[in-house]
Every structure is written in structure tokens, then in C-alpha cells.
Chain A
Amino acid sequence: MAKFKQVQQTFLFRKMVGFWKNVVRNYRDDCSDDDFFDVVRDGVDHDKGVELIEAAYTGSEIESMEKARYRFRRLDLSDSLDDVFQSLWNNERMRWKCRVVLETLGDYMLSNLAGDDVDMLEGRFKELKDVLKLSDLESDILLMAYVCSQTCFSWPCRVDDRDKPLFYAMALDTSYGEVTAAMSAKSKLFKYNLLDGDFDFNRRTLGGYMDGSVGDAIDRRFYRKCEVSDALPWDYYGDLAAHDGSLVVRMLSNRSNRCNILLYGAPGTGKTSFARSVVKKSGRAAFEVMQGDDNGKNMRSEARMIGIQVCNEQEDPAESIIIIDEADELLRGGPSSLGMFNFDFIGGKSTEKGVTNSILDDMKIPAIWISNAPIEAMDESVRRRFDYSICFERLNNAQRLAIWRNLVEKHNLGGLISASMIEDYASKYETSAGGISTVLENVARMNPAAGEVAELVAALMKPHCMLMGVKERGRFLPAKDYSLDGLNIKGKGKVSPGRMVKAVRNYLDADFSAAGEDRPRMNILLFGPPGTGKSEFVKYLGRELDRKVLVMRGSDLLSKWVGESEQNIAKAFRQAEAEHAMLFFDEVDGLLQDRSNAHAGWEVTQVNELLQQMEDFNGVMIAATNFSCNLDPATMRRFTFKLEFGYLDDAGKRTFFERMFKTTLSRDEADDLCALRNLTPGDFRTVRQELYYLGDAAGNGERIAALKEECSLKKDRGEAGRIGF
């Protein structure tokens, strides 16, 4: 809603008339814009203006000007004063008289604006000058720019942007060289974004402050002291604190000059909280650059940039750290950068990028910059100015576990949420620290009974995960009655499934670094028709080795944006390494297609990325496919083990039948079962579920008939379907 505000403007008009008088004194050319004389038209009664003209000029001079041939020199004293003075000014021979009349009128108007009161604007300019340490000239230039934007002040002719310093020099009655230097791209006026690229007053930076719609003192408006006594304990960050954290604290320990630290990565990964812990550990005072003003409005990048510099000037470099949270826009190179493509339609980006770089260079106080933006959004020249950077990946299982434990303790829920429940939640809900905190805070507030906590956590966590687009991960465990018995698994060199499990265990237990050897790869390919038990085998492997299995499907990795699928693949490998998990790519044929059939460049780069990651991966990677023939030929040599899961043999069929249906087969029934081709473990499970839901008591005959029906639906009929020789 609009609001009215009474503002005292004496200072503004006094300055305006002063600047205008200087232009009158210094400008030597014709006046093509009568707006230049609006000051007189608005500020002086018409009759008084004419009275002065009639006193200054003789009767014959006035008469000759009234008869002037050219319209813009022809005088008509009944016109408004702006037109009258334009005519007088443009009569070059008597311009000197016009100048004296105008200066007299200027003095007359100033006498009306006299007074000792310091109005709000005057106070604000003085404060700005003191805080930003502006010189008298810089302050006057800024004031001139403000006058141009806020009053009826106008130049006597059309002024191009490149000519503005010349006209500013006229208005300030000072030398052109000095003004040009003070208005250069490296000057404070541009560094602080006080002037825009056209040398005009930048309202986006300080408009509200100057006009009085924002009431804070300038330093408190831009930054504030940040309390870090409640920051999370250092040990809480584990490896992060031990490695990156200790290095950062060491860098900060005896620095009283430039030290820019960048914390970047996905939102909700604990960057801000880590920054606070770093500050606490370093023993310095933290100052936070404001993100919004008192009215709850977001502050513009320009205003935040000033905040950084004001804090940099005001606080003690040996005792302080500046935290600049949500620095995405600042580091991208200004608000004109649009979204992911970083387009710049107004052409001011280089100046803004220059401003960012210059601020990074001029920092006296160590600063921690926190950004959620992808690293590619930052210009290379900005990135190279950081002394140290830490990438925060999405939380891994171990980190989530630590957060759950910490927050359960913080909210006094230890008696209600057991250690095993915490482990379960950490692996099931891949949410951020903020999400966990919100849910537990609400759980604690509802004061639940012991029996209803699990249900309550699930009820609160599910919508949160849905809202945040986070997938809930179920436990990747095999069926309770799963066994390797009966499976038809063929590996090269008689690698049985049992030996396979042992081999992976050997790999995980070996200490290759102690032996001074390179860690060999452990990439396993499982291939064979659908339902032959590949995924179930991976679950079994995870359970036997007590390792988390990180399952990646096409929906987790493939993106519509070029290059993002490759990034997702790289992230998956990094995540598996960080969580010490086995990485499982289900239906890998979609990711490792033969590159000779590729239609687009991205299809090739995606395969290349996956192959490269497989080469470098320090862990167990398992891939499963129904179509091994479609895989890129280069992939095969990268798999240490290749296991083929075939259709069940006769012994396997009997084993599965008797185990799944908990029955014994007669000789005839066994013969009937063995006559069925292409049976898989999956068929037995399907038939068991089908008969269970139908609820009828079924004998072995019905079960075999149902299995036969399943087989008949398969495209691949194996030996039974072969035609010819």
C-alpha cells in the first residue's frame, strides 16, 4: 500500500541551486533545453523574474531581442520564465547579462533556503561519507548524481554519458581531470555501486536509505554481529573438521589480512553451521552481512556489497571474520546475470564482475563466503581469488547418522528414539540437516508416547521428503528365505556365487596402501534374462558383507540438461566412496550403450564418464543388465568379474519349487516341472503371490500349471521355441 512521507528538503534544494549556479557560470554554449531554467520557473515568481530582466537590460536591448529572427532567440516576456531565459541565454552578445541575472536569482533562491538545521538527507550524506571514507569530491559527485535523479535539475543541452564527467566538473566548479579520476571504474563510487554504468545515482543501492524509507544507521543496516557460542561442537564434523576445517582454522589463526574462504554446494548440507563452528574454533568475532532489511525485504546485491566493504572498513581485521551467507548472486557477477545461462542483457556484467573481484582483493578481514550456486556459475576470475574452498556434497549416510544422533540428543528424545531407529532413519530419509532438525523439533513439541514416536517421525518425514523431492530409500535387503541354492550362475573360471562373496570380502578387507600397491578395481557385471535373481544377489551380497548398497537407476542419474547426467554419475561414485557403500547400477544397459550406435554427443560423453569413473573408483561397483550384448565393447574389460545368471536347471527348479511352496514333489510332478523351459526364480515368486492372493488351496498340479502359463508369456522360449536345426 502506498504511504505518504513528509520530508524536509532544504539541503537538497540548497545543493541543487548551488550546482545549477555553477553550471550557469561555467557553461559557454547555446542552451537547447529550456528545462535547464525550470529551477527559476519553479523557484521565482514570474513578475519578479521579469523585473530583474528589465532592470538588467536596456529598453533597446529588450526591443531588439523581441524582434529577433530566430524563434529560440526571440524574447517574449509574457512567456513562462524558462522560455524567457532560454531566449536571453541564446542571444550570445548579451549572454553575460543573462548570466548575472540568473546568478542573482540563484542567490535570491538560496537566501530563501538558508537555515542552520541539518535535515535527514544532509545527515545521511555525512554518515555515508564518513563510513565509506569518501573524499569531499566523491561525496559531492554522489550528491550531484542524487540531485539529478531527485529534483528538477536539468542540463542545458543533451549530455551523453561519456560527457557527464565534464558537466559534473562544471556543476562542481572543479577540474575535469579530478572529476574523471573520481568517476573512473576503479573509484569508490563504482566499487560501492553508488553510481551505475551511466554515471547516474544508483537507486538500487541506497535509494531507500537516502529517502528515509529505511531508518537504520548505515553500518547496522548492512551487517551485524553474529553469535556463535551455540555453534555445533568441532568434533561433530568428523573428517571435515579434521582435514579441511583444521586447515582453514590454521589459515585464520594468524591472519589479519585478506583470506577468502568459499563454502559451496547443495542447500541444506550444513555450510552455514560449519562456518559458525569455524569462527568459534578460531576464537574470532563473527560479523554477518545482512540479507534483508528491517522491513523484511531482501537486500539487493549492490547493497550487500556495500555491507561487506563497510564491515571491512569498520571492524578489526585481527579479531574478526565476515560471514557472507547466500552469496550466490554476489559471486555470479551481479543481479543482471539471469539464471543458469548467466546471460547479461544490459551489458554491465564486466563492471559488476570487476567489482566482485576488486572486493575480494581488497578484503582486510578474513571472510567466509557461502554459496549454493553451482561452481560453473562463478566466473573463473572470481573463483581463483579464494584462498581455500570446501565443496559440500549432499549428506552421506554417516553424516546423516551423526546429525540424527546429535539432534535426538539436543531435543531430549534419546529415551524415545533408539540407536537402531536412528540408523534406520538415516539410511531411509536422505534429507538435509535442516529437514531432520525441523521434524525432530516438531516431534519433541508434540510430546509423544514411546510407542507412537516411530509412526510420528514417519508421518512428518514423508511429506517433508515429498516437498523437497527427496526419494525415500527402503532397506535394500534380500527376501528372508533367500539362498544361493538352486541358482544357475555361471562365472568365468568357475567363479561360484560363494567364491564371489569371498572375493569381494577379500577386496574390502585388504589394506593395499600398506602393501604399497595400487588398489585394484572391483567392478562386477551381472547379466542374464529378467527374473534370474541379479538384484536379489546384490542384496544378498550387501547383507553378507554388512555393507550399504547405494542403488542408482536411470531416474537418479539421467537429466534433460546436457552435461548434468555426467555430473550425476560422478556424484554417485563420490557418494558411494564417502559412504563406503557398494554402488549398484541397475539396468546399466541404458547408461553403457554401444557408442557406435550413438546419435548425439551426449550419449558418448555419458558412457565415457561412466567408464572413467569405473577406472578411478575406490570401492565395489556392481552393474546389472538383461542385455549384455548392447553394452559398449569397452566396458567388458573394466569388469573384474562377469557373472551370467541363467534360467534354472532341473535341479534348481526342484529346489526352488520345494523351498518356495514348502512342499515335496512326486516323481511325475518333478518330470512335469522339469519339462518347463526358461523358468526363473522370479516366476516362482510371481506364482506364489498370485496363488496367495487368490486364496484357493492349491496343489502342486495347479502350481506347475501356473508356472507353465508364466513361461508361455516369455518372448524367449529357449530350446522349446527353437525352429530348424
Chain B
Amino acid sequence: MHTGSNSYEVQDLLLFDDEESQGSVARRMPMAHSSENAFEEFKLKMVMRIYGISRDIAKKYIARRKGEVEALYRKRTDELVNAERESYMLDL
């Protein structure tokens, strides 16, 4: 679990000239780095809230939706590869 200053890197080294010219001390939001399980839990609760479904149904929904998305990406990748191949053959 991220606990503040330990994960801050270059953006936390603040350039001070004087009191007035410092401007922003920390413009960028630090990137969140929690565990995969924690993130999955947030996702699960979000789906339950959006669709008004139980935890079990939500889990199943997420798994099915994941499959759909993967299939879609596979299809799109194939289309892309075919288009590239076609273009390559035409060049020959």
C-alpha cells in the first residue's frame, strides 16, 4: 500500500527560489499503486452499483465482459493484420 512520501519521485523535489516564485509545489497527482486484488474489488463494486446486481452476478458479468472485450480485440487485431498483409501483397 502506498503511504505518501515514500513513493514520490522527481516531482516531489520542489524547486524553490523564493516565497513568491515557487508557484505550484505539486502539480501532478501521484500514480496509484495498490494491489491487483484491491483494484478488482473497486471494479466489482462499481459494476454492482451501475447495474444494481449482486456480487456473484457482478463477478460473472465482469468475466463475460472481459471475454467479449478480448474477443473484440482479437478480431480487431486480425483485421489489422489482414489489412497489412493485403497492403503488402499489393505492393508486390
- Answer yes or no: do A and B interact: yes
Determine if B2 and A4 form an interchain contact, defined as CB atoms under 8 angstroms apart: no
| Residue contact B19 to A208, C-beta cutoff 8 Å | yes
Give A113 to B6 CA distance when docked, in angstroms: 11
The reply on A44 being an interface residue by CB < 8 A is yes
Pick the interface stretch among A7-15, A338-346, A602-610, A612-620: A7-15
Where chain A touches its partner, the secondary structure class is helix
Contact B29 A151 (CB under 8 A): yes
Asked if A48 and B26 sit within 8 Å, CB to CB, the answer is no
Cα–Cα, bound, A319→B4 (Å): 46
Q: Is the beta-carbon distance between B31 and A6 smaller than 8 angstroms?
A: no
Contact status A297-B19, CB under 8 Å: yes
Inter-chain CA distance A28–B72, complex, in Å, is: 33
Taking CB atoms, residues of chain A closer than 8 Å to B34 are: 108, 111-112
**B12 at the A/B interface (Cβ < 8 Å)?**
yes
The chain B residue with its CB closest to the CB of A6 is: B12
Contacts of B17 in A (CB 8 A): 2
Interface residues of A in 198-218 (CB under 8 A from B): 203-204, 207-208, 211, 213-214
Complex contact B31–A55 (CB within 8 A)? no
Q: Would B16 and A6 count as touching, CB distance under 8 A?
A: no
Interface residues of B in 60-83 (CB under 8 A from A): 62, 65-66, 68-69, 72
Nearest-Cβ distance from residue B86 to partner chain A, whole angstroms: 22
> Is A137's beta carbon under 8 Å from chain B?
no
Q: Which residues of A contact B32 (CB under 8 A)?
A: 43-45, 108-109, 111-112
The interface stretch among A96-104, A448-456, A523-531 is A96-104
A275 to B34, CA, bound (A): 62
Q: How far is the CA of A472 from the CA of B16 in the complex (A)?
A: 49
Q: How large is the interface on A (under 10, 10 to 19, 20 to 34, 35 or more residues)?
A: 35 or more
Q: Determine the distance from Cα of A208 to Cα of B19 in the docked complex, in whole angstroms.
A: 5
Known: A7-B25, A59-B68. A43 touches B15 (CB 8 A): no
Q: Are A211 and B22 in contact (CB under 8 A)?
A: yes
- Interface presence of B53 (CB below 8 A): no
Answer whether residue B46 sits at the interface, using C-beta atoms and an 8 A cutoff: yes
Residues of A within 8 A of B25 (CB): 7, 9, 150, 211
CA distance A12 to B5 in the complex (A): 12
- From A17, A39, A207, B19 is in contact (CB under 8 Å) with A207
Kindly supply a per-residue 1/0 record for chain A positions 166-184, scoring 1 wherever the CB is within 8 Å of any chain B CB and 0 otherwise: 0000000000000000000
| A112/B1 in contact, CB under 8 A | yes
Chain A residues contacting B24 (CB-CB under 8 Å) are 149-151
- The chain B residue with its CB closest to the CB of A105 is B42
Q: Please, which residues of chain B bring their CB within 8 A of the CB of A13?
A: 26, 29-30
In angstroms, Cα B30 to Cα A45, docked, is 11
Please determine whether B31 and A44 come into contact, CB atoms closer than 8 angstroms.
yes
Give chain A residues whose Cβ lies under 8 Å from the Cβ of B43.
51-52, 55, 104
C-alpha gap A492/B4 in the complex (Å): 97
Q: Which residues of B contact A211 (CB under 8 A)?
A: 14, 16, 19, 22, 25
Q: Tell me which residues from 31 to 52 in chain A have a Cβ below 8 Å from any Cβ of chain B.
A: 38-39, 42-45, 48, 51-52
Question: Are A56's CB and B50's CB within 8 A?
Answer: yes
A204 B20 Cβ-Cβ under 8 A: yes
CB distance from B90 to the nearest CB of A (A): 26
A104 to B41, CA, bound (A): 10
Cα distance A7–B24 in the bound complex, in angstroms: 12
The 7 sampled A-B contact pairs (Cβ below 8 Å) are: A4-B16, A9-B8, A55-B43, A108-B34, A115-B3, A203-B22, A204-B20
4 closest residue pairs by CB, A with B: A208-B19, A43-B29, A42-B29, A10-B4
Known A-B contacts: A4-B15, A13-B30. Give 20 more (CB < 8 A): A2-B16, A4-B13, A4-B14, A5-B16, A8-B4, A9-B25, A10-B4, A51-B43, A54-B65, A55-B62, A104-B46, A109-B29, A113-B2, A113-B4, A114-B3, A151-B26, A151-B29, A207-B20, A207-B22, A211-B19
